[in-house]
Amino acid sequence: MEQKIAIKVDDLTVAYNYKPVLWDIDLMVPEGVLMAIVGPNGAGKSTLIKAILGIIKPIAGSVTIYDKPYNKQRKLVAYVPQKGSVDWDFPTTAVDVVMMGTYGKLGWIKRPGQKEKKAALEALEKVGMLAFKNRQISQLSGGQQQRVFLARALVQNAAIYFMDEPFQGVDATTEIAIINILKELRKAGKTVVVVHHDLQTVPEYFDWVTFLNVKKIATGPVKEIFNDDNLTKTYGINYKVAVNK
């Protein structure tokens, strides 16, 4: 059986002030994988996600989601930005933040109603945060904030999920809770792309991996390509990851 391609990136180049941060990226992500994007700081991991989602305009190349450009497929995609990218002192509650996930399907002007609220509460329950639904978001711990963000992505009920460092600054309990949800998503046939930092956990959490350092180093199944050779090429130092031996 031919596996469907969920995300296809062709010759993608992104530059800030004429300095390329992503250079000629080709990438194919098959449907239903749980993929980690790994690479050193400044490798362009977040930029790759943002360029796929049209948040940053590339200077060359193209992206398709199930064979169509992203702006035609928005409703198939959910996005979890880095937790640090927003102001958590913003005057709003956990459930309200989760409801924002429904805004895409609602479109302009239309207001969220009971249906959206119900979906938001269900998503909060899935991430174990229902008890905190009316808590002001600055009164949540870092891990709880990350779970609220995850719930916001779940409420989008998408086919593809992009997550920018969801494990950053969360405690072990939250990390386990998040990875369990990601695995459930994969089980349901969804595609999940995660910017990830902890190399040790790559083989345990993910089945697909992309090595990135401005250029794409390698992409494919973790079992085949997660090795010292690719790690060394990506990080530029002689890498020995014990887990692979």
Partner 1 sequence: MNSPQIEIQLIAVVVAIACAIPGVFLVLRKMALISDAISHSILPGIVIGFFITQDLNSPLLILLAAITGVITVVLVEWIQKTGLVKEDTAIGLVFPALFSIGVILIAKNANDVHLDVDAVLLGELAFAPFDRLLLFGNDVGPKSLWVMGTILISTIVLLLLFFKELKVSTFDSGLSAALGISPVIMHYGLMSVSSVTVVGAFDAVGAILVVALMIAPAATAYLLTSDLKKMLWLAITFGSIAALGGYWVAHWLDASISGSISTVLGVIFLFVYLFAPRKGLISVLYRQKQQRTEVSLITFLLHLNNHSEERERHINHLQEHINWQKIRSKTVLDLALKNNMVTVTNNVVSLTKKGDEFTNLALEYIITNKDEKIEHMKDDFFLFRG
Positions that interact with partner 1 (CB under 8 A) = 17, 50, 53-55, 71, 74, 77, 79, 81, 85-87, 90-93, 97, 100, 103-104, 106-109, 111-112, 131, 136, 138-141, 143-144, 152, 171, 173
- Nearest alpha carbon to residue 153 among 80, 84, 224, 95: 80
Tokens found for residue 108: 């302009």
Residue 126 CB, nearest approach to partner 1 (Å): 16
Q: Which is nearer to partner 1, 76 or 202 (CB)?
A: 76
Own/partner contacts of 16-24, CB < 8 Å, gap of 24 or more, are 20/214, 21/47, 21/214, 22/47, 22/48, 22/51, 22/58, 22/214, 23/214, 23/215, 24/60, 24/61, 24/215
Q: Which is nearer to partner 1, 195 or 199 (CB)?
A: 195
Angstrom CA distances, 60 to 22, 47, 51, 78, 79, stand at: 10, 14, 11, 24, 23
Residue 93 CB, nearest approach to partner 1 (Å): 7
Q: Could you tell me which residues are beta bridge partners of residue 131?
A: none
Residue 45 CB, nearest approach to partner 1 (Å): 14
Q: Which is nearer to partner 1, 55 or 243 (CB)?
A: 55
Q: Which is nearer to partner 1, 2 or 87 (CB)?
A: 87
Angstrom CA distances, 231 to 3, 13, 131, stand at: 27, 22, 42
**Residues near 245 by beta carbon (within 8 Å), at least 6 away in sequence:** none
Residue 28 CB, nearest approach to partner 1 (Å): 21
Residue 7 CB, nearest approach to partner 1 (Å): 14
Q: Which is nearer to partner 1, 91 or 189 (CB)?
A: 91
Q: Which is nearer to partner 1, 119 or 231 (CB)?
A: 119
For 85, phi and psi rounded to 5 degrees? Answer: -85, -5
Residue 2 CB, nearest approach to partner 1 (Å): 29
